[in-house]
A and B are shown apart, each in its own frame.
Chain A
Amino acid sequence: MAKAIKIAAPAPAERRAALAGQELSAAGVTLAVLPPAERISLRAPDASIAALSKALGVTLPRKPKTSASRAGRTALWLGPDEWLVIDEAEKDPLADCAKVTVLHSAVGISHRNVAISVTGPAAATTINSGCPQDLSLGAFPVGAASRTILGKVEIVLLRTAADTFRVECWRSFSDYVFTFLSEAAGDAAA
C-alpha cells in the first residue's frame, strides 16, 4: 500500500466559535458571547493540589462555591477534587499540568465550552429566571463560582464583578442558553 504522504501544510483551518460575537442589550442587562479561551478540566486528590497550583500559577481553591484568579487564569472549584481552569491570556494550562508528575487528570476542554457574559444591574435577576441559586452578593460574592443549572441545561456560573457574571455552558447548549438569557433579560428589568 501507499506510504504516508508528506506535503507542505496548508493554511490552518479557520476557527469558527459557536455564536461568535453575539450580543444583546435590554434594560438593565447586556449579554455578550465572550471570545474563545483555553480551558481544562482538572481532577486531583488533596496531595497534588500544591504542586498543581504551583505549575498553574494560581492557587487551586479548596472551598465550595469559590474561585481563584491570577494573571488571566481562573480556577473554579467544582467539586472536592475537581476544578475548571479558564485561561484568557492565551497560555496553555494543559501544557503546564503536563509538566507535573503528581497524581492528577487534566483534560483539554477549550472547545467544549462557550462563555456568555451577563452584565448590568439586572444581571442577577436575569440569571435567576432559570437558575435556583441565591445570587445576592452576600451569598454569591464576586469570585463565587458554581456548577448549576439554567432552565433545562447545566451551566458553570462565575461572578466576576458585582454586576457581572460569566456563564459557561457546553457548545451545543449555547444557543439555548443565549436564547433563555435573552428572554429572561426582557423580563428582568420589569
Chain B
Amino acid sequence: MIAAFRIPGAGRLKQAETARFSFDGQSYSGVEGDTLASALLANGVHLVGRSFKYHRPRGFLSAGAEEPNALVEIKRDAARKTPNVRATVQELYDGLTAQSQNRWPSLSFDVGAVNDIASPLFSAGFYYKTFMWPKAAWKNFYEPKIRAAAGLGVAPDQPDPDHYSARFAHCDVLVLGGGAAGIAAALAAAETGVRVILADEQADFGGSLRFESGAQIEGQDGFAWAQAAVAKLRDMDNVRVLSRTTAFGYYAQNFVGLVERVSDHLRNPGGELPRERLWQVRAKRVVLATGAIERHMVFADNDRPGIMLASAARTYLNHYGVAVGRNVGVYTANDSAYAAAIDLKKAGVDVAAIIDLRDNPTGPVIDEARALGIEVNFGRAAIRAGGKLRVSSMTVQPKNGGGERTIPVDAILMSAGWTPSVHLFSQSRGKVAFNDETKRFVPGTYAQDCVSVGACNGTDGLSATIDEAYAAGAKAAKDAGASVVKGTKPKVDASESWSRGMLGAAPGAGPDTTVKAFVDFQNDVTAKDIRQAVHEGMHSIEHVKRFTTNGMATDQGKTSNMHGLAIAAETLGKPIPQVGLTTFRAPYTPVTFGSIIGHARGPLFDPTRKTAIHPWAEAQGAVFEDVGQWKRAWYFPKAGEDMHAAVDRECVTVRKTAGLFDASTLGKIEVVGPDAAKFMELLYTNPWEKLEPGRCRYGIMLREDGFIYDDGVVGRLAPDRFHVTTTTGGAPRVMNHMEDYLQTEFPHLNVWLTSITEQWAVIAVQGPKSRDIIAPLVEGIDMSDEALPHMSVREGRICGVPTRLFRMSFTGERGFEVNVPADYGQAVWEALWAEGQKHGACAYGTETMHVLRAEKGYIIVGQDTDGTVTPNDAGLDWAVGKKKTDFVGIRGMARPDLVAKGRKQLVGLKTKDPKVVLEEGAQIVEDPKQAIPMKMIGHVTSSYWSENCGRSIALALVAGGRDRMGETLYVPMPDGTIEVEVTGMVFFDEKGERLNG
C-alpha cells in the first residue's frame, strides 16, 4: 500500500520496494532509498521531537545534515541505541526502530512543555543568572532537574558492540562535496591521471541536483548526469569515491578528517564491516565544493511542525516522491522558494499563497508561478504561524503594517536565501570576506593549498559553477604535479539560478517580548534573545553567541548564525562585517567517539608488553601487576597462600638461600663511541672516566634543576662501550633525555645511544646460594670473588648462549643479573630454576623485590623521590663526583633553596608498635595535639611488613630528617595517631656483609 503522502510517479525511488519501520512504537512502511524523514513525511508524520529548552513540538526543518530539530534515537538492540540521530540523514532499512527524545510522557503531551509557558524565566543568559546561588541547589535541583529537563537524547548504557576502523590516505586532489561543482572538479582532476578522492556526506552524489528539476547537463537530467559521472569516476584506478562520508575537520597542511558511515544504513550490519571508518587524508590540493544551506524566515512561531525550508520540501518531492502537505503556504525573500511552489503545484499539491517580503521582484519563476495560478503577494510578511503540533495557518500582513489575513495551510515553505558553507574553509584558517551586495560571507584569504568552488564560493548558477569547478579541478591537478590535461568540461544545457535574500528578523519577529521567532531551533534561541543580549551589554558576536547559546548546538548554527549576526548588528546599529562572524570549529557534524577511537579498544587500547619469561611465570600461577605498559610478576603464591604469606616466604627464602627474579623490563641503553665516558660524565653525577672495563657503578642522573631524574647500575664493557640500565618506567624518557642532550648540547661528542631493553632478557639471581646456582651453567667466566667482585660485569656464555653477566645486588645479598638474548630468556630461566630447585631457591616478584630493597634502604626513583629530591636529600651525596666540574644538574644542585637547611630528607621510620604498617603517602607531624590543619613535615614514601626484620619498616621524606635521628614523630590517621621513631634507612645487615656472604 502506498503511503498517504507519496505521490505516484514522483521522485526517483522505486515505490514498490517497501521497508517496515517504527517510530515511537507505531509501525509504518517506507520504500528503499528513503531517509527516516522522507518515510515519516510520506506517512504524514511531521511531529518528531521536542525542543531543547522549551520542549516545543518540532518537525523537520530540512532534508539534510543541517537539521536542527528532527533528532531521534535509533535502536537496533539493547546495546545499540544511538541518540541524537538526524532523521533527515538516517537512511531507512527494513526493521528500523526510532524513538523521539526529550519528552515525557509522550511526544504529543509533554509535561516539560510547561517551560514554554514559563519561558520569561528562561530568557537569554538564564543559566548564568540563575545558577549562581544557593550552593546547595546545585546538588539537589540544578544538576538533577534543570539539566535533565533541558537535554538531548540519552547516552547508551552498555558497551558499544560495534567496531570501527581507520585508514590513512594520501592523494593529489581531495574534493569535498559531491554536487555538480565537486563532480566537475573531480572529473577535471581525475582525467589528468593524478590521485583523486571525492567525498560526499549523502548516500547519493548530486547535492542540490537532487531537487533542482530545472538542471540539464550533457543532455540529461542533472541528477542522472551526476550518477553517470560518479560511476565513471568509480571505474578509474586513480580515483577513490567515498559516499556517506563527511569531512568533519580541516587541519594543518591539508590534513582532513572524514568519517565514512559504513553500515548504519544496512538492515544487518555485522560481520567484518565496521560501523564507521575514519579517514585521515593528506592532500596536495583540496577543492572545497561544500555548497550552500538555505536559511529559514524568522517570524513568530516559525518552529511549528510542517514549517520547513523550501529546498527541503522540494527534495522530498523531487527525490523521494513525498508531498509535505496538501495545501502549502510559501514565505520567502528569495526566488528559490518559487521553484519549490511550482514543483509542488505541478505535482498536484495546492499552494495557498506565496508571501514574498520583497517589494517588486521580477523573473521567470515568478511569472511561471503566476501562470500556474498561484496567488503571489509582494511586500508582505507572514507575522505568525497558527497550530501547535502541526502548523494550521499563516497570518499575513503588509510588511509596513496594516490589515491581517489568516490563510489556512498544512505546511509552510520558507526561504530567506542561501548561506555559503564556509565551515571547512574557515577551519583551514582561511579568512572569510563579506560581500555587501549579496549579503554573504564568502572565502576571502586562503591559508592553505585549497580552493572553493560553486555555491560555497558564492558562485550562482549551474553554468558558472561548472566552469569554475572544472577549471579549479584541472588547476589543482596541475599544481599537484599533473602534466597531461585532457577531457572535456561537462556542458550545461539548462539551469536554475538564484541569489540574494534577506538576513535577520522579518517583521513577524517582534519587537513584542512574548513572541517566539526562532533563530536557532536546536538551542531555542529567538530574535528577542539576541536583542536582549545586546541590550544587556554583549557587543561582540562571540559574547552574544555565548550569552544566548545561538549557534552552539550540535548543528553548529548552520541555519542560525547569519540571522543571529544580522539581528545583533541591527540592534547595535553597526554593519555586519564590523560585528564579525564567530569561528567555525570542527566537527562539521557530530562525530562518534567510536570513529575517533577506531581500533584502539580492548587489546589494542594500549600495547601490553610481556617479557620473554612471562609464559613461565604465568604457568607458575604468578599474579601480575602493571608497570607502565609492562606486565610484571608481582608475587608467586603457592597453594593456600595469600599475597602477604607469599611475599613473606619469598623475602625469607631469598635471604636464606636464593631467589630468581625477572628483571627484563629494566631499561637498557648501550652507549658506544670513543667519547662514551665523556658523555657519561656529563649525564650522570658520578665519575666514569676511571671506571675500569669490567666494573659497574650505581649512577644517578639529574635534570637541569638538580633533582633526581633516574638511577641505575652501569657496567663498562670496554673503554668505548657502556651498558646502562634505567628504571623500568623511566626507560623511554631517559633515552630521550640522553639523546636530547647529545644532539643539542654535546653534538661534538663521538658517541651513539642504542636501546637494548628488549635485546636482553634479565634474570636476577640473588641470595647466598646465587653463585652456586649460576656457576654450573656458565662458561668462560671466572666466578670467584677475586675475579668477579661485587659490581663487576663479564661477557661469556651461559647454557651455551651469550651472556652479559653482572654481579650486582638490589637485595643486599650476594647477587647476579644474567643478561641473555631475549629469545633465550625463558630457556635460561628454566635451567637456572632447575639449578635453584636443588638449593631450595624460589621465584620472587616485584613486591618482594620492593621489600628487600627497602630493608637495605635502596631507593626507588619515582616512589621515594618525586621530582623535588636532590641526591643530598636522598642521602646519596656519595654518588656525586666531588671533583667533577660539569654535569647536567650541577648548577641546579647549588641553588640556594637546594642547599638550605631544613629540606626534606629521606630517613627510616620505625613504628613504636612493630606490628603496625604505615600507609604509603601518610603525612607526618611533630605534635599530634596541634590544631587542625596541622603542620605537616613530611610523608611516608615506602612502607612494608618485613618478615626478615620481624617488624614493619618504612622510608619517609621528613624536613631536616637526618637531624632528627631517634626523635618521635606522629602519623595521624583516621582511626588514630601512630607513633614513629626516626631511624637510618638501613634496616637489615647494616654493615653490608651479606653482599659477599
Contact = CB atoms under 8 A, between A and B. Distances in A.
A and B pair up: yes
Nearest to B610: A172
B897 interface: no
A4 interface: yes
A112 B608 contact: no
A74 B818 CA distance: 31
B609 A180 contact: no
Interface string A173-190: 101100110011011001
A3 B785 CA distance: 8
A133 B169 CA distance: 8
Interface string A29-54: 00000001000010101000000000
A170 B801 contact: no
B690 to A, nearest CB: 22
B782 interface: yes
Contacts of A190: 262, 272-274
A139 B481 CA distance: 13
B166 A107 contact: no
Interface stretch (B213-221, B355-363, B772-780): B772-780
Given A9-B797, A13-B828, A139-B170, A175 B610 contact: yes
B781 A4 contact: yes
A18 interface: yes
Interface size class of B (residues with CB under 8 A): 35 or more
Contacts of B756: 107, 109, 112
Which residue among B599, B775, B823 has the maximum number of chain A CB atoms within 10 Å of its CB? B823
Contact of A9 (B608, B674, B779): B779
Contacts, number: 162
Interface residues of A, number: 57
Contact of B607 (A1, A108, A113, A152): A152
Contacts of A112: 755-759, 822
Interface in B775-828: 775-777, 779, 781-785, 787, 797-801, 820-824, 826-828
A110 B262 CA distance: 42
A131 B798 CA distance: 40
B118 interface: no
A151 interface: yes
B787 A11 contact: no
Main secondary structure of the interface of B (DSSP, over half): mixed
Contact of B827 (A1, A16, A170, A186): A16
B802 to A, nearest CB: 9
B750 A109 contact: no
Main secondary structure of the interface of A (DSSP, over half): loop
A183 B599 contact: yes
B604 to A, nearest CB: 6
Given A9-B797, A12-B800, A131-B168, A170 B776 contact: no
Contacts of B606: 152
B611 interface: yes
Contacts of B163: 183
B831 interface: yes
Nearest to B821: A111
B759 A15 contact: no
B800 A4 contact: no
Given A16-B823, A112-B759, A184-B165, A136 B787 contact: no
A111 B826 CA distance: 13
Contacts of B527: none
A129 B167 CA distance: 4
Contacts of B599: 129-130, 151, 180, 183-184
Interface of B: 163, 165-170, 195, 262, 272-274, 277, 280, 282, 599-600, 603-604, 606-612, 630, 670, 672-674, 750-752, 754-760, 771-772, 775-777, 779, 781-785, 787, 797-801, 820-824, 826-828, 831, 996
5 contacts: A15-B824, A125-B167, A139-B170, A184-B165, A187-B165
Given A13-B828, A109-B754, A187-B277, 11 more contacts: A2-B784, A3-B782, A10-B800, A13-B799, A110-B821, A111-B822, A128-B169, A129-B599, A172-B758, A187-B274, A190-B273
